[in-house]
Amino acid sequence: MQIQLSDHFSFSRIIRFAIPSVIMMIFTSIYSVVDGFFVSNFVGETEFAAVNFIMPFIMLQDCVGFMLSNGGAALIAFLLGKQDRKKANEVFSLLVYVALILGVVLGAITEIVVRPAAVLLGGEGELLEACVLYSRVILITSPAFMLQYTFQSFFIAAEKPRLGLAFTLAAGLSNMVLDWLFMAVFGWGVAGAAAASCIGQMIGGFGPLIYFGLPNKSLLRLGKTHFDWKSITKTCSNGIAELVTNASMSLVNMIYNIQLLKLAGEYGVAAYGIIMYVNFVFLCTYIGYTIGVAPIVSYNYGAGTHEELKNVTKKSLTIITVCSVTIFLISQIFARPLAMIFAGYDDVFLEISVRAIKLYSMNYIFAGINLFTSGFFAALNNGKVSFFLSVLRMLVFQLSCVLIIPIFLGTDGVWISMPIAELGTIFFSIWMLIRNRSKYNY
């Protein structure tokens, strides 16, 4: 039986509704993880470092997709809760068309500036050339990648999370098979990794475009719309925290790479790449769950069903807490096996990576609550609180920690910067949840 936004949610029902989003986010992150595995094991350490060195810069353009996806889904679900389906479809169509246009424009701009950006970040020689080659290929399908991120939350608002998962699985599995074919068999190097991702992105981005453009059984369908500045502004306001979070993450990752290039050379940059792959998968559990329950929160807020809003909030905080402890323990116990996936061929590289994972993974204890709280307020159409928490977490705490702590602790200071930043943020997250409890009746 299909779960609807208007249902009462038990623990099992809320998990079943959110789990497709969790798996969808994990498989989206696996694009880069699989690229990293094949580049590291079949191309070389320098190329592996290059992919991880330039990826934060490439991801800057996709922050807009996150903003439109999360901010737009909150507005659309709110309108559906108000029983205004016509307006919801107009807003949905407008945001998809905007995402497609922005994907073309931002992709073209990034293509032009990628080389000087890589030089500015400290890339040179073979590392620089690998950065540019990988970027020039993968940026060809920027519009598809933008759409893929945009559709993730829209599938949930349309009450079709499993279909969204199916598109993501198809894209992810295609990427994995083609990575093996292009790098292990054809020997195309980093260009092969980028080409495999491009094809996966086209499946994940253009496939949903076709589905929503045709008659379908979901709550949403692409159609005629008009430019609605108020809806665009509200979407950006709701999703600004996602934009700031992901843009700041890219900025912080670039600072990490610069610090590690100075302190530990290419080994350090490559080890941080492994951390980011592990981090992508683990954090996607929190992010996917938040994306999954956000339309439920928005719908019940719009419908004025306060008891169900309280129910969903309480259960979500419990689920996130249990996940936080579990993920931390997994990362500690399996630090070496996780590192060996990428660094098993080099003992020095392996030991640096194992230590890095164990120190860095302490952030998983706190990150879940911080990410959920920010997404929760965005779902309540309160972009201000969501924005405040995101700026505090990424630009104030994380940036400060990665710039200051390594001065005293060297390379270990880089690895523990994130846990300290997440710890500092969690106090503000809890404060915001308590402060706004009576306002939204959750």
Q: Considering only CA atoms, which of 231, 79, 76 is closest in space to residue 155?
A: 76
- State residue 251's pLDDT score: 82
Q: Which residues contact 207 (CB under 8 A, 6 or more apart)?
A: 167, 170, 171
- State residue 328's pLDDT score: 97
User: Which residues of the chain carry a pLDDT beneath 50?
Assistant: none
Percent of the chain exceeding pLDDT 90 equals 52
Distance CA 104, CA 144 (A): 9
pLDDT in tens, 190-220: 999 999 999 999 999 999 999 999 998 888 9
Contact 413, 260 (CB under 8 A): no
The mean of the pLDDT values for the chain is: 89
Distance CA 101, CA 142 (A): 10
- State residue 31's pLDDT score: 64
Distance CA 194, CA 348 (A): 28
- State residue 1's pLDDT score: 58
- State residue 368's pLDDT score: 96
Three-state SS annotation for the chain = CCCCCCCCCCHHHHHHHHHHHHHHHHHHHHHHHHHHHHHHHHCCHHHHHHHHHHHHHHHCCCHHHHHHHHHHHHHHHHHHHCCCHHHHHHHHHHHHHHHHHHHHHHHHHHHHHHHHHHHHCCCCHHHHHHHHHHHHHHHHHHHHHHHHHHHHHHHHHCCCHHHHHHHHHHHHHHHHHHHHHHHHHCCCHHHHHHHHHHHHHHHHHHHHHHHHHCCCCCCCCCCCCCCCHHHHHHHHHHHHHHHHHHHHHHHHHHHHHHHHHHHHHHHHHHHHHHHHHHHHHHHHHHHHHHHHHHHHHHHHHHHCCHHHHHHHHHHHHHHHHHHHHHHHHHHHHCHHHHHHHHHCCCHHHHHHHHHHHHHHHHHHHHHHHHHHHHHHHHHCCCHHHHHHHHHHHHHHHHHHHHHHHHHHHCHHHHHHHHHHHHHHHHHHHHHHHHHCHHHHCC
- State residue 25's pLDDT score: 80
